[in-house]
Amino acid sequence: MMKLGKRITIKELSKITGVSATTITNALTGKPNVSDVKRAEIIKISDELGYKPNLHARAMVKNGIKIGVVYSHEPQEYNKYIIKSIRAAVEINSDYKIILSEHFFNDNRATFEVRDALALALADGIDGLIFGPSFFMDTYQGMLQRYVSKHNLPVIYHGMEVKGIPGIARILTNTTVIGKMAAQLLRLALGAGAVVGVITTTELFTPHQRIVKEFVEYCGQEDIKVAQVLENEDSKTKTYDCTYKLIEKYPDIKAIYVTSFDSLTALRCIENMGLKDKVLVIGHDVYSEMVDPLMSGSIIASIFQNPIMIGRMLIEHLCKYILGDHTVQGEILIEPQLVLRSNLECYKEYLLE
């Protein structure tokens, strides 16, 4: 137990009482969904410890919290679930009166659109920023750095972070595990000595580069030969070209691992080359167009990165920080899941879009 009289935070009080910060807030402010016994217990302990609510946080909740969201529309197969989850988290946390200031850019190559979207969000008087950086940071890095420094703006990132601008957290799927999962799966599916190729985004996107690094290293341990790694810059046209080049250059290739949403374009190229069922594909995530290829076995598996959980955590961690819990989380890793034909029905909410 902490010494009496020492100022404590709601997070510390949560640990002591064994209930969530939300429950404590509800108990101390007379809101429902807390039993009388639990409310009395929380009030007693908070009084003993001299807990004083954060008046700034109370004022912010009363007036509403404005959160800027700067995100890419593409790839919509993945990003739409992030945005959907952010909006759902706002509704779930309605007591915070969160107001979203949403600003989008077309895709990760639309550098000046990113700068414009950021400028609009920052000009809207936001209290915190959710940001999914694009590949090319030079056009907006300085502007964001100056604003964050001047206004002490908390930023939470998805995927990458902007160099020189530390965020309160960076949320992404565990890239080390993803790379190893893909490598082991190919070993099980193809056996030793198989030749495979990789199509990734770009070396500028560090999460995917980490996936590739782990994949290549683990393939070496599993006696799988990685013929070549090509980059598509999140372009479907380039994904098609990369697939064609891999198969043309390495006619004995048995599988292609696409470290992004675009496994279907690789599959289309393979089918157009008359090699359906002869060159297998592993991709990422789940959306409705992937049902038939997964059920037929053309895509042997997809590695699910759980974008809905990521979106929810972006809102929750940023709100906690804005409301006084100034714990810097660093890198928060979401564990990936393997989607197969056998468990595809478990992902129905992603298939009904």
Q: What is the pLDDT of residue 326?
A: 81
Q: What is the pLDDT of residue 353?
A: 54
> Which pLDDT band, with edges at 50, 70 and 90, does 55 fall under?
very low
> Which pLDDT band, with edges at 50, 70 and 90, does 2 fall under?
very low
Q: pLDDT per residue over 299-342, tens digit each?
A: 999 999 999 999 999 999 999 888 877 888 889 999 999 999 99
Average pLDDT over residues 43-63: 65
Question: pTM of this prediction?
Answer: 0.80
Average pLDDT over residues 230-237: 93
Asked, colleague to colleague, whether 59-172+307-335 and 175-305+340-350 share their fold, the answer is yes
CATH of 175-305+340-350, one of 3.40.50.300, 3.40.50.2300, 3.30.1280.10, 3.90.1150.10: 3.40.50.2300
pLDDT of residue 207 exceeding 70: yes
State how far the alpha carbon of 78 is from the alpha carbons of 82, 234, 287, 288, 310, in Å. Answer: 7, 12, 8, 12, 11
Q: Which helix (H) or strand (E) holds 182?
A: helix 175-190
Top mean pLDDT of 15-19, 25-29, 63-67, 98-102 is at 98-102
Q: Assign domain 59-172+307-335 to a CATH class.
A: alpha beta
Q: Where are the domains of the chain?
A: 10-53, 59-172+307-335, 175-305+340-350
d(Cα 285, Cα 281) in Å, to the nearest integer?
Answer: 13
Sign of the dihedral defined by the CA atoms of residues 179, 284, 338, 281, in that order: negative
Q: Which of 13-27, 63-77, 180-194 has the lowest mean pLDDT?
A: 13-27
Q: What is the pLDDT of residue 62?
A: 60
Q: Which helix (H) or strand (E) holds 302?
A: strand 299-304
Share of the chain above pLDDT 70, in %: 93
Q: What is the pLDDT of residue 5?
A: 37
Q: Which helix (H) or strand (E) holds 299?
A: strand 299-304
d(Cα 155, Cα 140) in Å, to the nearest integer?
Answer: 15
